[in-house]
A and B are shown apart, each in its own frame.
Chain A
Amino acid sequence: DGGITQSPKYLFRKEGQNVTLSCEQNLNHDAMYWYRQDPGQGLRLIYYSQIVNDFQKGDIAEGYSVSREKKESFPLTVTSAQKNPTAFYLCASRRTVSNQPQHFGDGTRLSIL
């Protein structure tokens, strides 16, 4: 899955600070996703986007925001409203042809300072 690049690998947030996680893909995939993974738990969907300039909330969107200005890019902002942001964040993408698998980036580990 070298076609999905997440940066940075590690990120530290101070109280009251917004931080932005980058996700870029060169797979020409239409759909992109952001997940949050807490230790010992599964993946929970934060936001997803099917096409440029359109995105939908997932199961845990509160305290997060996204944009999709380019097909290749789907950045996630963790706002100060997210009181417990410490987690492993995974970006994924897929073709929107029926039943194609999602491919994941290497993730960003976010911690509170």
Chain B
Amino acid sequence: GENVEQHPSTLSVQEGDSAVIKCTYSDSASNYFPWYKQELGKRPQLIIDIRSNVGEKKDQRIAVTLNKTAKHFSLHITETQPEDSAVYFCAASIGGTGTASKLTFGTGTRLQVTL
């Protein structure tokens, strides 16, 4: 089955700096890669996703890059703010219409943005 590795497990940055979280996946058939943000005791919320037919996607201060050849994808957060502090999860799945399409999650990165 799919295996997703995520690094680092913890990341501390100063407000205004950039943060980068990296994930690798094992199944070359995976074609959908979402990122979730989870605040303490709350539900994971989708912040950005990318499909295998594109290499990069941006949404304001957040961007995701995908390297299919190397089977890794990364989350980039620029101009970090204290409210960015949370646990971030990457995930991978093999998507297809009409399928339940299981997500395999990474183990999470705890991001702390300090003043």
Interface residues of A (CB under 8 A from B): 1, 31, 33, 40-45, 48-50, 56, 58-59, 88, 90, 94, 96-107, 109
Contact = CB atoms under 8 A, between A and B. Distances in A.
Contacts of A99: 31-32, 49, 51, 93, 95, 101
B99 interface: yes
Contact of B100 (A44, A56, A101, A106): A56
Contact of B49 (A43, A49, A101): A101
Given A42-B108, A43-B44, A98 B100 contact: no
Contact of B97 (A41, A42, A96, A102): A96
A30 B98 CA distance: 9
Nearest to B103: A102
Q: Could you tell me the dominant secondary structure of chain B's interface residues? A: loop
Given A99-B31, A99-B95, A58 B102 contact: yes
Q: Is the interface of A mostly helix, strand, loop or mixed?
A: loop
B46 interface: yes
B73 interface: no
Contacts of B96: 98
A1 B43 contact: yes
A42 B100 contact: no
A110 B106 CA distance: 23
Given A42-B105, A42-B108, A102-B103, A96 B98 contact: yes
Given A50-B98, A99-B32, 6 more contacts: A41-B107, A42-B106, A44-B105, A45-B103, A96-B99, A106-B43
Given A50-B99, A98-B96, A104 B43 contact: yes
Interface in B36-64: 41-46, 49, 51
Q: Which of B97, B99, B100 has the most CB of A within 10 A?
A: B100
A50 B96 CA distance: 12
